Amino acid sequence: MVKFFIIIGLLLFLGSGCTDQVEERFNNTATTIYFNLSGAQADSIVYSFAKVVVNSHVIEVPVEIAGYPADYDRHFRVAVDETLSTAKVGLHYDALEESYVLPKGTFTTKVPVTVYSTDKLLDSVAVSIALQIVANDEFPNDFSKRQQALIKVSNMLEKPGMWDLVYGKKYFGTWSKTKYKLILQVCGVEELPAYNGPNRYLLKGYGMKMQNYFKENYPVYDENGQVIESDWAIIF
């Protein structure tokens, strides 16, 4: 039964191919490894330092094998494709390790990539790190699916899609990047909660908390040098 599901998984992973070839591959330990990005990540990971008060962050990029795990540790390689990357090693990210370990008996692991926010360029531009799985003796990787992954890093803060309709109109007033960043920092969240029944009380509390913050710390200036006033109306 396990073998059946693994074979079906590889067929879906490949999208096309010969069943006999897949069956033969699964008679042995898996030699195919790939990036396992899914959902909103798709083929890339987007990270913004604008929502957090740190200068560095470790992004964990998931990888997975297609087939049976081995009963011993194995090594695989990941490199940065410089031709497809705009980020600079030592400035925007740390150099990768020579190789990474897939522990025995496991199907998945993660590749840690440490990124940094100190370059002022990131305030206006996102830089990219193009990762590429590199074949080696333990993972010759006969297939080409999901061998690349892209990391995008910036300090930019985007206005939430519901700001004008809900968040600003009901709880926080006029938009500015500085105000939004302070909302996230002072309220201790990485993003505003979804607007629904239970969260209306929470959002109202956040709105009142921010009004008090701007009153107590007056004047606070936004990114355009304008004072952030605390006189907006809060609508429940």
Residue that is written with structure tokens 């990888």 in the block? 63
Angstrom distance (rounded) from CA 119 to CA 127: 10
According to the model, what pLDDT value does residue 112 have?
A: 98
Angstrom distance (rounded) from CA 179 to CA 171: 12
pTM of structure: 0.64
Indicate if the pLDDT at residue 17 is higher than 50: no
Angstrom distance (rounded) from CA 202 to CA 112: 34
168 or 27: which carries more pLDDT confidence?
Answer: 168
Most confident of 18-27, 103-112, 142-151, 187-196: 103-112
Angstrom distance (rounded) from CA 118 to CA 55: 6
Closest CA to 34 of 139, 115, 137, 185: 139
Angstrom distance (rounded) from CA 145 to CA 10: 11
Enumerate residues 6+ apart whose C-beta is below 8 A from 24: none
Each residue of 110-133: pLDDT tens digit?
Answer: 999 999 999 999 999 999 999 999
Angstrom distance (rounded) from CA 176 to CA 50: 13
Each residue of 45-101: pLDDT tens digit?
Answer: 888 888 776 899 999 999 999 888 999 999 999 999 999 999 999 999 999 999 999
Q: How far is CA 159 from CA 14, 150, 177, 178, 200, in A?
A: 38, 23, 8, 11, 19
Which residues pair with residue 89 across a beta bridge?
93
Instruction: Give the domains, in start order, of the chain with CATH numbers.
Output: 2-154 (2.60.40.1740), 157-236 (no CATH)
Count CB-CB contacts under 10 A for residue 114.
13
According to the model, what pLDDT value does residue 132 have?
A: 96
